[in-house]
Structure 1
Amino acid sequence: MKINLIAIGKKMPDWIQTGITHYQKQLPRELNFTLTTPEAQKRKGKNIEQIKELEGELLIKASASANLIVAFDEHGKQHSTKEIAKAMKDWQQNGDSVALLIGGADGLSNTIKQQAHQLWGLSNLTLPHSIARLLAVEQIYRAHSLLTNHPYHRE
């Protein structure tokens, strides 16, 4: 199994990057987790739809090697940690290469939403882009800890 979290934008607040690094270090190597961060598009002279399409092209390119694409979207299906753990177990059993996509500040293009195999929601709350990234990494770690009976996850 390979999991690649692909999130638009390179510059994160230090405290977000510290949190992401913390959870990445906790993940075992066999999980084969990577974080890819294509550069956000410049806004000058472009409308929101143009920006989302350009960023969508970057997400598609970065996820080309994946056989399963899951895009995080505000209208996506909400999953519990147990459901995420079950999905990860299935990915592992199938030998899947999974791309988890987080769009830029304006969200995902319609092209990405149509090409994704699944749309997942992270929260009913409106989250800053950087917190969505941190939450996704933490949930990957939490789901892994649930699968390995590590005491991090508590009911």
Structure 2
Amino acid sequence: MRLHLITVGEPKLPYARAGWDEYEKRLRRYHKIQVTRISGKNQTAESEAIARAAGKAPLILLDPRGQQHTSEGLAQYLDQQALHGHGELALAIGGPDGHTDQLRAQAHHLWSLSTLTLPHDLAMLLMTEALYRAATISAGEPYHRG
């Protein structure tokens, strides 16, 4: 499956940049990865740019109003999307003000990493690690223990 990771900005802190790079590299063993970075101007412009970047792919927005998944649950969700014929999924992290209601209404799924408010850099790192962990679970590999 192709995962199109769309973010407003990119990780700025060294730990987050290193983590993003590491997990993006690891993810490429399991999925075709495309990364699109959008410059942040305002919530409306960011949401419009995310919608354009996603194109016709089902859009999964990282949003605090979304559904939380266990690692196993995320793996099952992604596997189900592939079984339903979705060859590509677009996953998007918005800017500081999040996504517009209009974009949320267009989304295929809302995914919440946590009920905590997370710094942007940390959210990007957690998303890539969670996707990698889900891929290893689906592949039956030992990265995930628990």
What are the residue-to-residue correspondences of 1:16-95 with 2, within 5 Å?
16-41=16-41, 51-66=42-57, 68-95=58-85
Of 73-82 and 7-16, deviating more is 7-16
AA partner of residue 17 (structure 2): Q
Distance 2:30 2:143 in 1: 19
Provide structure 2 residue ranges, at least 5 long, that are not aligned to the other structure: none
3-state SS of 1:15 partner:
helix
Identity of aligned residues (%): 34
3-state SS of 1:37 partner:
strand
Q: Residue in 2 aligned with 1:137?
A: 128
Distance 2:133 2:53 in 1: 25
Alpha carbons of 1:80 and 1:30: their partners in 2 closer, same or farther (altered >3 Å)?
closer
Distance 1:82 1:11 in 2: 26
Q: Which protein is bigger by CA-based radius of gyration?
A: 1
Verify the 8 A CA contact 1:27 1:141 in the aligned structure 2.
yes
Distance 1:65 1:16 in 2: 29
3-state SS of 1:82 partner:
helix
Verify the 8 A CA contact 2:4 2:33 in the aligned structure 1.
yes
Provide structure 1 residue ranges, at least 5 long, that are not aligned to the other structure: 42-50
Give the count of matched residue pairs.
Answer: 145
TM-score calculated relative to the size of structure 1: 0.87
Q: Residue in 2 aligned with 1:13?
A: 13
3-state SS of 1:152 partner:
coil
Verify the 8 A CA contact 1:4 1:99 in the aligned structure 2.
yes
**CA root-mean-square deviation:** 1.4
| Deviations 1:20-53 (CA, angstroms, capped at 9, x unpaired) | 1111111244511222111111xxxxxxxxx111
Please report how far the alpha carbon of residue 125 of structure 1 lies from its aligned counterpart in structure 2 after TM superposition: 1.1
AA partner of residue 65 (structure 2): H
Verify the 8 A CA contact 1:53 1:111 in the aligned structure 2.
no
Distance 1:52 1:32 in 2: 28
Pick from 96, 99, 109: which aligns with 2:90? Answer: 99
